[in-house]
């Protein structure tokens, strides 16, 4: 859960709340959410036992990433304690304990930003998607990391996604990947680094990219798993 969310937190000190991960626990559901203003990563899971009282805290992303690093045994139980009125959270493990201060403030209402309906739905191999992004980044890093995705449905056949990027110094490049596309053709641009980062943790063979227009957010999610959603803001096509 931490790996799928922590990377989307902000690294800028100007907005401390965005340097944290919002953890909410209601009954037997736990959710983690992080955003830097350009993307939102949300992961939910079920707990084996329901909590009597809900919890809502903002934990520094750096602390959670450290927790993920030291809790290397996937079968190890992690116990979390939020002492009342202390502004802290304590994580207990078999051979370690991690204590961190909570972040005070109001976390953005990310649920209001997640789009609820889409016009174009693209299902694409995660590996092919990531490979295209990595190839494009070589050129895109010279041009503000802009990558263009042209989703092209084709009658009676699987559609294609054309990945293209260009810079004055490096020229241009294009990669074409087969995809299942429903809805109208759409050309949209994203930050290629942001795409690569989410594709590295999406954890499924195929990825869904849902879009509406070239100036509205896209939603990435793993095929067959509704517990992870990643919203990414588009870049100006120029």
Band of residue 155 on the pLDDT scale cut at 50, 70, 90: confident
Residue boundaries of the structural domains of the chain: 2-112, 120-232
Q: Which pLDDT value is given to residue 173? A: 87
Q: What is the CATH T-level fold of the domain 2-112, as seen in this structure?
A: DNA Polymerase III; Chain A, domain 2 (3.10.150)
Question: 47-85: per-residue pLDDT in tens?
Answer: 999 999 999 999 999 999 999 998 877 677 899 999 988
pTM of the complete model: 0.93
120-232 and 2-112 share a CATH fold: yes
Question: 178-227: per-residue pLDDT in tens?
Answer: 999 999 999 999 999 999 999 999 999 999 999 999 999 999 999 999 99
Q: What CATH code is assigned to 120-232? A: 3.10.150.10
Contacts of 148 (CB under 8 A, 6+ apart): 162, 163, 164, 165, 187, 188, 189, 237
Query: CA-CA distance, 156 to 154, in Å (whole number)?
Result: 6
């Amino acid at each position: 859960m931490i790996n799928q969310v922590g990377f989307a937190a902000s690294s800028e000190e100007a907005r401390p709340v965005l340097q944290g991960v919002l953890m909410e626990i209601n009954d037997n559901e736990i959710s983690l959410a992080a955003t830097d203003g350009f993307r939102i990563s949300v992961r939910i899971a079920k707990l084996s036992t329901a909590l009597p009282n809900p919890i809502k805290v903002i934990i520094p992303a750096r602390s959670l990433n450290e927790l993920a690093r030291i809790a290397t045994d996937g079968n190890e139980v992690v116990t979390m304690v939020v002492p009342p009125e202390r502004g802290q959270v304590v994580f207990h493990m078999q051979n370690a304990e991690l204590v961190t201060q909570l972040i005070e403030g109001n976390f953005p209402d990310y649920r209001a930003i997640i789009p609820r309906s889409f016009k174009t739905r693209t299902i694409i191999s995660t590996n092919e998607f990531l490979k295209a992004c990595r190839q494009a980044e070589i050129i895109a890093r010279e041009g503000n990391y802009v990558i263009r995705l042209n989703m092209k449905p084709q009658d009676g056949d699987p559609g294609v996604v054309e990945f293209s990027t260009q810079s004055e110094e490096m020229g241009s490049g294009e990669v074409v990947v087969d995809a299942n596309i429903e809805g109208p053709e759409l050309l949209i641009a994203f930050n290629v680094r942001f795409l690569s980062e989410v594709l590295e943790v999406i954890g499924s063979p195929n990825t869904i990219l849902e879009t509406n227009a070239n100036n509205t957010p896209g939603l990435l999610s793993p095929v067959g798993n509704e517990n992870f959603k990643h919203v990414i803001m588009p870049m100006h096509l120029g």
